[in-house]
Amino acid sequence: MSVPFSTSHYHFVSTSNFPNLYHPPPSPPPPTPPMGKGGSLSDGVVKKIILSYTYVATWIFLSFTVIVYNKYILDRKLYNWPFPISLTMIHMAFCSSLAIIAVRVFKLVEPAALSRRVYLTSVVPIGALYSLSLWLSNSAYIYLSVSFIQMLKALMPVAVYSIGILFKKDSFKSNTMLNMLAISIGVAIAAYGEAKYDSWGVFLQLGAVVFEATRLVMIQILLTSKGINLNPITSLYYVAPSCFAFLSIPWIFVEYPKLKQNSGFHFDFVIFGTNSICAFALNLAVFLLVGKTSALTMNVAGVVKDWLLIAFSWSVIKDTVTPVNLIGYGLAFLGVAYYNHLKLQALKAKEAQKKAQSADEEAGKLLQEREGDGNGNGRKGDSQA
């Protein structure tokens, strides 16, 4: 199993070979690019390359924007609106509304055939896990820097692999566990070198990683194993409302009393509207990126985005990034890269095996047809004799 270790939020659909709501068909090996005159690439190939880079740039920009925008809104030193549950509920309400309009009004996509029982037993638990993941991850922005949060999120493959073993969706392998240990050590070194370390913020972010990893595994158990696959729009259509409902429970007790006392607050439609649009657009960008390229492309783009966020956090937001931070995250980064490499090799081997099996089956069918034709001709010759 593999997971795109993207560090942005609001990916209702993770898109990789790991348990997901959306499973694009495996990409065939790229054909030899057609050449134009003088050995140059044809216009069609150049156009595809430009489009691929456009999808990557769009996803990086939107993912980057959502993370920085959330930090800006929640940070007490910036916009100073430290209500992560309320912010997440705004996003859920906005995404739910657009998804319902797309499905019910404009009928852009067909809703999945889900019974009430399947929805309550499969989709609702995933919505609960997702609400906890978003709540805790957004809360961490109040206490930790953007750069340090990106470093902590490198633990995602460790959490996914461990929970996969716990739920018997993955098997224990000593070399993989050593890889997970290397990632964990790298993150621990980065935490040791953090200039503005906050234990509560680290607890929140690690909790978000655990809930997100559990959600990914439960998608495999509750949805994918039943043949239920949802695209980004139908995912929002089904998951976002349940996520909003679960978030409303802690909101009533934790944030509503504080908001009620804050009589001077006026809802800023520009800030929260554009922030919600970015969150919704990010999900569509995920669909385009993986649907038009591959999950591996998203993984590589995620690594680029993480380093850009760390650089932005250091240079623009003026967060402190120490040499020990970079050494620790560098080690974790190498561990994650190696893990993705192993998964890519396993995926290639699996695809090669499928092709070999398909070729064998095709050869067997042709042989049977020839034998059938031969027997038919033989019987015809006998009858004529």
Report the C-alpha gap between 1 and 124 in whole angstroms: 24
Residue 21 banded pLDDT, cuts 50, 70, 90 = very low
Report the C-alpha gap between 43 and 53 in whole angstroms: 15
**pLDDT given at position 383:** 52
Q: Please state, for a pLDDT cut of 90, what percent of the chain lies above it.
A: 42
Residue 25 banded pLDDT, cuts 50, 70, 90 = very low
Q: How far is CA 344 from CA 10, 156, 281, in A?
A: 25, 17, 28
Structure tokens given for 288 = 């385009």
Q: Which residue did the predictor score with more confidence, 303 or 93?
A: 93
Residue 380 banded pLDDT, cuts 50, 70, 90 = low
**Does the structure show a pLDDT above 70 at 31?**
no
Beta bridge pairs of residue 35: 41
Highest mean pLDDT: which range of 106-110, 252-256, 260-264: 252-256
Q: Can you give the pTM of this predicted structure? A: 0.78
In the predicted model, what is the mean pLDDT of residues 202-209?
96
In the predicted model, what is the mean pLDDT of residues 216-234?
83
User: Whats the size of the chain, residue-wise?
Assistant: 385
Taking all residues of the chain, what is their mean pLDDT, rounded to a whole number? 83
pLDDT tens-digit readout, 107-156: 888 888 888 998 999 899 999 999 999 999 999 999 999 999 999 998 98
pLDDT tens-digit readout, 150-198: 999 989 889 989 999 999 888 888 888 999 999 999 999 999 999 889 9
Q: Which residue did the predictor score with more confidence, 86 or 122?
A: 86
**pLDDT given at position 7:** 42
**pLDDT given at position 295:** 61
**pLDDT given at position 194:** 93
**pLDDT given at position 9:** 55
pLDDT tens-digit readout, 344-374: 787 778 878 888 887 777 777 777 777 766 6
Q: Which residue did the predictor score with more confidence, 116 or 15?
A: 116
Residue 13 banded pLDDT, cuts 50, 70, 90 = very low
pLDDT tens-digit readout, 283-338: 788 767 766 666 667 667 777 888 889 999 999 888 899 999 999 999 998 998 88
**Does the structure show a pLDDT above 70 at 42?**
no
**pLDDT given at position 291:** 64
**pLDDT given at position 376:** 59
**Does the structure show a pLDDT above 80 at 247?**
yes
Q: Which residue did the predictor score with more confidence, 12 or 94?
A: 94
